[in-house]
């Protein structure tokens, strides 16, 4: 169901040129009628507002029932930072955050993690942009488990594309849940985007392209 907050988030992404429509080739080689690029957020106002959307999603899903939030390099770094700040400002929830380096630092404090240092038994949530294949989770879990015996049960993303993998059976969200026991919470899904477009007099050709793409690749 397209709520007011979802509508606001879609319009926010469009205004920041993060959500675009046309024809885009994804990493999987599919030609998609829409594309999400969170790398286009570039102002203080945008990152502050984005943090509020993530904070609301975290608050609704898990409240303050977690130890720290992890933002995988690179796009997850500003997302986790913004979410942590907004959680405190909006809800008074003060939680640590951390992220990884792509290359381990061999001087100074050293190590591959920056910020909070996980401890055994911690409940960690992951903050990311989108999930397409689940590759980010598969890269993040060894990093987290190498740091400490942590629990990771929840992940938060901007958009769930709801797309199946190469086998054409399960979506990345389904695979992540089955493989790692992680529940993925999305601020919006591709179905929300389609519903928004239909409600705002979008070009019928784009709606038809969305329908074809969703019918071929998406599972709900």
Residue 30 CA to residue 13 CA, distance in Å, equals 22
107 among known catalytic residues? yes
**Among the options 27, 102, 107, 166, which is catalytic?**
107
Pairing of strands 31-36, 19-25: antiparallel
Question: Which residues, in sequence order, are CB contacts of 51 under 8 Å at separation 6+?
Answer: 79, 81, 82, 83, 84, 85, 86
Asked if 94 and 88 touch (Cβ cutoff 8 Å), the reply is yes
Q: Where are the alpha helices (DSSP H) in the chain?
A: 4-15, 44-62, 76-91, 135-147, 172-180, 190-199, 204-217
- Point out which residues pair with 115 in neighbouring strands: 98
Give, rounded to a whole angstrom, the gap between the first and last alpha carbons of the chain.
13
**Among the options 25, 105, 145, 200, which is catalytic?**
105
3-state secondary structure of 155: strand
185 among known catalytic residues? no
Residue 32 CA to residue 30 CA, distance in Å, equals 6
Asked if 7 and 53 touch (Cβ cutoff 8 Å), the reply is no
Residue 143 CA to residue 199 CA, distance in Å, equals 43
Active site residues: 105, 107
């Amino acid at each position: 169901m397209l709520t007011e907050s979802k509508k606001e988030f879609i319009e926010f992404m469009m205004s920041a040129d993060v959500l675009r429509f046309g024809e885009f080739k994804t990493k999987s080689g599919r030609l998609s009628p829409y594309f999400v690029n969170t790398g286009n957020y570039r102002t203080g106002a945008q990152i502050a507002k984005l943090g509020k959307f993530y904070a609301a999603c975290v608050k609704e899903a898990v409240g303050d029932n977690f130890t720290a939030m992890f933002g995988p390099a690179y796009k997850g770094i500003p997302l986790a930072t913004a979410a942590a700040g907004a959680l405190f400002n909006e809800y008074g929830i003060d939680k640590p955050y951390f992220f990884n380096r792509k290359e381990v630092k061999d001087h100074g404090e050293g190590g591959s993690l920056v910020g909070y240092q996980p401890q055994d038994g911690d409940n960690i949530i992951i903050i990311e942009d989108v999930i397409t294949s689940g590759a980010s989770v598969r890269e993040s879990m060894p990093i987290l488990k190498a740091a400490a015996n942590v629990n990771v049960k929840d992940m938060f993303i901007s958009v769930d594309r709801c797309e199946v993998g190469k086998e054409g059976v399960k979506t990345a969200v389904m695979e992540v849940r089955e493989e790692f026991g992680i529940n993925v919470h999305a601020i919006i899904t591709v179905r929300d985007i389609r519903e928004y477009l239909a409600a705002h007099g979008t070009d019928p050709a784009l709606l038809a392209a969305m329908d074809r793409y969703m019918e071929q690749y998406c599972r709900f």
